[in-house]
Amino acid sequence: MPLETIIAGVMIASLVLYALLGGADYGGGVWDLFAFGRRPREQRALIAEAISPVWEANHVWLMLVIVILFTAFPPAFAAIATALHIPITLLLIGIVLRGTAFTFRTYDVQRDEVQRRWSLVFSIASIITPILLGTILGAIASGTIHVENGLMTSGFFRPWLAPFPLAVGFFALALFAFLAAVYLTLETRERELQEDFRQRALVAGVLVGLLALTVFVLAQTGAPTVRAGISRTWWALILHICTGLFATGAFYALWARRFRVARVCAAAQVTLILLGWAFAQYPHIVEPDITIFSAAAPRITLQLLLAALVAGAVLLFPSYYYLFRIFKREAAR
Amino acid sequence: MDDLLAARSQMAMSLAFHIIFAAIGIAMPLLMIIAEWKWLRSKDGIYLTLAKRWAKGTAILFAVGAVSGTVLSFELGLLWPGFMGYAGSIIGMPFSLEGFAFFTEAIFLGIYLYGWTRVPPRAHLFAGAVVALSGALSGIFVVIANAWMNAPTGFRLVDGKPADIDPIAAMMNPAAFSQTLHMTLAAYAATGFAVAGIHAFMLMRDRANRFHKAALVIALAAGGVSAILQPLSGDLLAKTVAKTQPVKLAAFEGQFQTEQGAPLRIGGIPDEAAGVTRHAIEVPYALSILAYGDPQAVVKGLNEFPADVRPPVAIVHIAFQIMVACGVAMMLVALWAAWRFLRGRRRWLDSKWFLRLLVAAAPLGFIAIETGWTVTEVGRQPWIIYGVMRTSEAVTPMPGLVLPFITFTLLYIFLAVITVWLLLRQVAASPRDPDPIAKEARVAA
């Protein structure tokens, strides 16, 4: 397998982990805003307890995606950062407000009105940021960012301010909210709280389905090459069938209150959606002008980067496992 | 404001903001684990309270540092796509390593902050030590990338494009060692003095408070040792600059004419139009000695270089003077503190004047960090990669950059105000019950 493909694979794997872990932290923020019913206070407390020890570590997966992108595929990073300057800037503002508001809420006065103010900033930022993230990925897939001789020629609005990328943005939001609700059913042993998040997961699951359909329909004109890639080959078909099976499985497991099964199915579903997109776009890193081969850094850089990634992973995964074992084991039992 | 200036201003503002949190993020975990270590050894509850207080402060500052660091890594591409497209494959390596150091830091900080009752005491202390170590490492990796911009190595230029790239050689650039050493010491010195100053202030109001005394001693020890070592690393770095960026050294010193046996100028205002630095105190031969170890060495003046490769001299010279003045003042304060302590008096903290001086010295380290980065960044202009790529060639074609500059400035001012307010309330204030363990014992008795 070419080195470029391996490194791109690691980058996609980091993105998948960011979606599964960091994405769910955004989803937590969504449910903070929609904390209502009989137990809003308990719901908020559960969300805060679930994400407090891990959100900063989970956020680093995004940083890893970025450093791999600019080390291994520098011209692609330059093109994306130029063409999508505006949504990326907005994304950053969202990231800053989400993280700081959450931390300030933890350490500020525990009076209700102060807490409510920070909660509002935290949860709104948690909603806007995934939409922007999805929009950015949608724009990259849409094939509207054009590059000639290393210069971006497609304008600063057109690639992302369009129905397809925005639909992908809402799709990302729904997926993150769905993941968070599914995970939260396993973060508590209190039946009623579990039920609250089960209902939320079911609602979000329906929205995920509807938005997936919307994205697929809009891709016809909004991202024709990727759409063709999705529906072209036999393995793509298998990938889709699997995604559908896991989606159904997650839904059924939620219905039957088999929460651990639901968690596995939901995570698999999100993973396969991202992989499906990556395979459909391969070998393009930015449709249609930049491939991972045309943008690749020299071989020596790729080799060293891969060595660093392997060494880093050897250090990282045990630490990550330790973190999750400390904070996630009791609740999951 | 034109777009290039707006882009530079946004980058400068983002770095100036982030570096405070980054420096504290490097040093604060060290203070925190020293306090926890003393708690484990002495079982004196004061140290437990202190470790928990400092951990709270670290949590707030780390969160702001982490998100402002995220902004910076994206801004490299948002503002300087020309630079990243060109240099990403050469200096992406230290950024990737920094990614893992940051990962480790975030994981173990989570364990440290929320694991007080969930992991055994030794494992908890170990988690804190990993945070301290990986924090320092991640700072070092980022400064290595900056050092490469000052002293680019590890590639050859062929038709204006980099060839024969060697990322390891790029990391081993001649400025890497002295620059990382200088910045790491600066982080400990600045944070140590700032924390010591805050607790000295609280101690002036409440002389007998053991909590503030314990805090002051730990912070001053860490900050003082670094402040005493810092001039040595500064000297090493200046010698490196003399070798790799002679025009920058000339700007540091306001040295316009090439001169044998050049003097060291203290203070003074460079007049770029006239090509002289006025009102400076000149120490004969000192610059030649400091830069090259030889009183008769020739120091190249700014006039040797074409006008379009000279940095803005006045800003660089004045910022350099402020940085050195702060550094020297901190070293003297640290020496005085060491002398008071070594004289063996147990009451070495009881002097009102000594506490006042510590309060006055509290901001010096951060002033030195900000002016020091002004020196290194403005002193590199007009280059983004010294001698290879101009800053104006790297900037994004995106118009209207003044808008994001203003937006991020307002956002960061808002964050700074909240952070300072929270720290004063939550971390620096005298604890109502500084020694919970003693209280428990009293209640039990």
Chain A CB contacts of B113 below 8 Å: 52-53
* Three-class DSSP labels, B270-289: EECCCCEEECCEEECCHHHH
With an 8 Å Cβ cutoff, is A297 touching chain B?
A: yes
B173 bridge partner residues = none
Q: What is the CA radius of gyration of chain A?
A: 20
pLDDT of residue A234: 80
DSSP label of A297? P
pLDDT of residue A153: 74
Give pLDDT < 50 ranges for chain B: none
Cα torsion through B16, B66, B415, A19, rounded to 10: 140
Q: What's the Cα-to-Cα distance from B97 to each of A61, A309, B61, B129, B171, rounded to whole Å?
A: 13, 8, 22, 19, 11
- Give chain A's length: 333
- Nearest 5°: phi and psi at B224? -65, -45
With an 8 Å Cβ cutoff, is B92 touching chain A?
A: yes
* C-alpha–C-alpha distance, residues B150 and B243, integer Å: 11
Tokens coding A134:
């999805």
Short-list B228, B218, B224, B225, CA closest to B33:
B218
Residue from the list B62, B77, B418 with its beta carbon closest to the beta carbon of A81: B77
Could you tell me if A106 and B78 are in contact, meaning their C-beta atoms sit under 8 angstroms apart? no
ipTM score for this prediction = 0.90
Three-class secondary structure of residue A154 per DSSP: coil
Q: From the DSSP assignment, how many helices (H) and strands (E) are in chain B?
A: 15, 10
- Give chain B's length: 445
**Got the DSSP string for A236-268?**
HHHHHHHHHHHHHHHHHHHHTT-HHHHHHHHHH
pLDDT of residue A97: 94
* C-alpha–C-alpha distance, residues A328 and A315, integer Å: 20
Search chain B and give the residue with CA nearest A310. Answer: B100
pLDDT of residue A333: 46
pLDDT of residue A201: 94
pLDDT of residue A295: 87
pLDDT of residue B444: 62
Beta-carbon separation of B92 and A312 below 8 A? no
Tokens coding B322:
């402020």
Residue from the list A85, A301, A312 with its beta carbon closest to the beta carbon of B100: A312
Write out chain A's pLDDT in tens, 333 residues.
899 999 999 999 999 999 999 999 999 999 999 988 888 889 999 999 999 989 988 999 999 999 999 999 999 998 898 889 999 999 999 999 999 999 999 888 888 888 889 999 999 999 999 999 999 999 998 888 887 776 777 778 888 888 999 999 999 999 999 999 999 999 888 889 999 999 999 999 999 999 999 998 998 888 888 888 777 778 888 888 999 999 999 999 999 999 999 999 999 999 999 998 888 888 888 888 888 898 888 899 999 999 999 999 998 999 989 998 888 865 544
Q: What's the Cα-to-Cα distance from A12 to each of A68, A267, A271, rounded to whole Å?
A: 10, 15, 10
Amino acid identity at B256: F
Nearest 5°: the CA angle B434, B439, B444 is 165
pLDDT of residue B151: 93
Could you tell me if B395 and A76 are in contact, meaning their C-beta atoms sit under 8 angstroms apart? no
Could you tell me if B77 and B394 are in contact, meaning their C-beta atoms sit under 8 angstroms apart? no
Chain A CB contacts of B84 below 8 Å: 70, 74, 77-78, 81
Residue from the list A57, A68, A301 with its beta carbon closest to the beta carbon of B106: A57
| Buried-state track B317-326, b at ≥16 Cβ within 10 A, e below 16 | bbbbbbbbbb
Quickly count: other Cβ atoms within 10 Å of residue B116's Cβ: 15
